[in-house]
Structure 1
Amino acid sequence: MILLTGFEPFGGDTENPSIVAARSAAEELNRSGRPAVAVELPCVFATAPHALREALRTHQPELVVCTGLSARAASLTLERAALNVIDARIPDNSGAQPVDVPVVPGGPAAYFTTLPIKRALAALRAEGLPAVVSQSAGTFACNQVFYALMHELAAGTVRGGFVHVPPTGPGSADPEALVRALLVVVREALDPAADVSLGAGALA
């Protein structure tokens, strides 16, 4: 089973491209014979990690790809690291705005993704799909879910990680191309081969 997650609408929006893309990708995977499920997570600090853990227990996935919206992204963004901190610049959907709070008290300072993000980046570029690697998923709900996921998977062999999706619609990313890109990430992650070395770093 492949578990894909996305977030509920946030900030007054009527939909969130992350869960839309996750659902479409899950449908495509199921049609191709790969069992998959998409789960919508609340954009609420108090409940998102619990919802994620419930999804992990319910579906017992072999692969987990969590997604979230980045309003500043221009393409699919493959996240490298999750930080053990919540520092909310704006409130979540419940109005909570924690600052300098750990995701997991006493947990490691950070976790790296176990998705082959460099191999996925090369595959995406080969198919003409724009993508970048990001060194940090920020300090809002996306990072919280990313860190909570990697904390849950730390003792096992299940691959998992996080990707940010850009806004979709007129003048923004093509929703169909976004789903194709997500499927490429899944395809590469299902291949047990090690990641490759490919320059995709940042100066700051």
Structure 2
Amino acid sequence: MLIIMGSEKKTVILTGFGPFGEHSVNASWVAVQNLKQRNLLPNVNVHIEEIPVDYMKVSQIVPDLWKQKIPQLVVHVGVSGIADKITLEQRAHNLGYHRKDIGGKTPTQECCQEDGEECICTGIDMSQVSDEINKADNRLEAEVSHDAGRYLCDFSYYTSLSIDRSCSAFIHVPPLNQPYTEDELGEGLATAISAMLKQLP
């Protein structure tokens, strides 16, 4: 599947998470690699990065990616054990990070940024992105969520939104084959990113 974009290549950072808990193979990173390996966005400069499920490392890696790559869009992808659709997160939260990461740690004061806004919404209209996925000619389904879970997914999303809320996004995918295959997840990400880029200048 090829997603056709404009003539100028935009830079998109696309991240997935490493293993944690019951997710010895993290569907988010599998989906991200699938999109890149199959070149599903041929007219986009896609930079992929695997991020560990570690608060301190996320708080270092994510801002560094913004500085180094100067992207037009940053999309973080995570796995949700309760999701059965492509789930598009509209906002992220600053407080409530009491779940321990893979190193057994929580962030200072269990928040993303001291004195940060309680909640930040992305400037991207996720309902429009959801519509694009749902009308595509495949069996993928998407929905919009307003709670990214107060774990590393929410934490990474808030970190990016605090840098530039106009072009930051988060997508939750179901575990592999529950119900979507690796290829379907890669195609779902490509459709979502294409839809997001349409909303940006």
Fold match, TM over 0.5? Answer: yes
Letter matched to residue 98 of structure 2: A
Q: What's the CA shift for 1:173?
A: 2.3
Over 3 Å counting, the alpha-carbon distance change for 1:105 and 1:71 in structure 2 is: same
Over 3 Å counting, the alpha-carbon distance change for 1:34 and 1:98 in structure 2 is: closer
> What is the CA deviation profile of residues 57-90 of structure 1, one whole-angstrom value per residue up to 9, with x for unaligned ones?
121111111111111111110001101114334x
1:181 alignment partner in structure 2: 188
Distance 1:126 1:147 in 2: 29
3-state DSSP class of the match of 1:46?
helix
TM-score calculated relative to the size of structure 1: 0.84
Letter matched to residue 111 of structure 1: I
Distance 2:167 2:39 in 1: 17
1:120 alignment partner in structure 2: 129
1:143 alignment partner in structure 2: 154
Q: What's the CA shift for 1:172?
A: 3.4
Kept in 2, the 8 Å contact 1:86–1:99? The answer is: no
Identity over aligned pairs, percent? 25
1:36 alignment partner in structure 2: 46
Over 3 Å counting, the alpha-carbon distance change for 1:76 and 1:101 in structure 2 is: same
Kept in 2, the 8 Å contact 1:19–1:38? The answer is: no
1:197 alignment partner in structure 2: none
> What is the CA deviation profile of residues 18-51 of structure 1, one whole-angstrom value per residue up to 9, with x for unaligned ones?
1111122234447623211111111011211211
2:175 alignment partner in structure 1: 167
Q: What's the CA shift for 1:180?
A: 1.1
1:77 alignment partner in structure 2: 87
Kept in 2, the 8 Å contact 1:88–1:99? The answer is: no
Kept in 2, the 8 Å contact 1:88–1:97? The answer is: yes
Q: Which runs of 5+ in 2 are unaligned?
A: 1-10
Distance 1:131 1:28 in 2: 22
Structure 1 runs, 4 residues or longer, greater than 6 Å off? none
Distance 1:101 1:84 in 2: 9
Letter matched to residue 194 of structure 2: R
Residues 184-203 of structure 1 mapped to structure 2, 5 A cutoff: 184-192=191-199
1:68 alignment partner in structure 2: 78
